[in-house]
Amino acid sequence: MPYPEEMVAPMRAELTDNGVEELRTADAVKQFLERNKDKSAMIVLNSVCGCAAGAARPGILLSLEGDKKPAAVGTVFAGNDTDAVAYVRSLVPQAPPSSPSVYMFKQGKPVAYVPRHVFEGGYPESVAEHLRNEYAKL
């Protein structure tokens, strides 16, 4: 059962109000990756989890303030955008389901993945540093 939309709306907005593209369906994810297949792209698997609020979302936004970053950033929401989430997860089948998490793509191919445990107990600054290190792969 999805979370009430009015509950997750502010959590979505924290990213989408800052330039992250919302991808609510599998088709939207496919189109996003197709549109950016010649560039680098990142998809944030957002969630209601406390570590998403305290570490992942603010850390992701902080990481995007740097020069080296993905050319395009999209987001899907665990528990609500069910098909979109399933499609994103299918692109990296060796990764167990994990949210929040971050998927990075270069020329349409997955090149990096950041699972939930990296965000747990973290601070925005430490998350941003971890992500910036991953951006070097893009």
What number of chain residues touch another protein (CB under 8 A)?
A: 18
Count the Cβ atoms, other than its own, within 10 Å of residue 25: 14
Helix 82-90 × helix 26-35 angle, to 10°: 50
Q: Catalytic site residue 29?
A: no
Q: Which pair of structure tokens corresponds to residue 39?
A: 């560039």
Please identify which residue in 8, 23, 55, 72 interacts with another protein, judged by CB under 8 A. Answer: 55
Stretch that binds another protein, among 20-28, 77-85, 91-99, 103-111 (CB under 8 A): 91-99
Please report whether residue 51 would count as binding another protein according to CB under 8 A: yes
21 beta partners:
74
Q: Catalytic site residue 51?
A: yes
3-state secondary structure of 45: strand
Tell me: cis bond preceding 100? Omega within 30 of 0 counts: yes
Stretch that binds another protein, among 21-29, 49-57, 62-70, 73-81 (CB under 8 A): 49-57
Please report whether residue 136 would count as binding another protein according to CB under 8 A: no
Outline where DSSP puts E strands in the chain: 21-22, 40-46, 72-77, 101-106, 109-114
Q: Which of 20, 41, 44, 51 is catalytic?
A: 51
Binding site for another protein (CB under 8 A): 50-51, 54-55, 94-96, 98, 101, 113, 115-118, 120-123
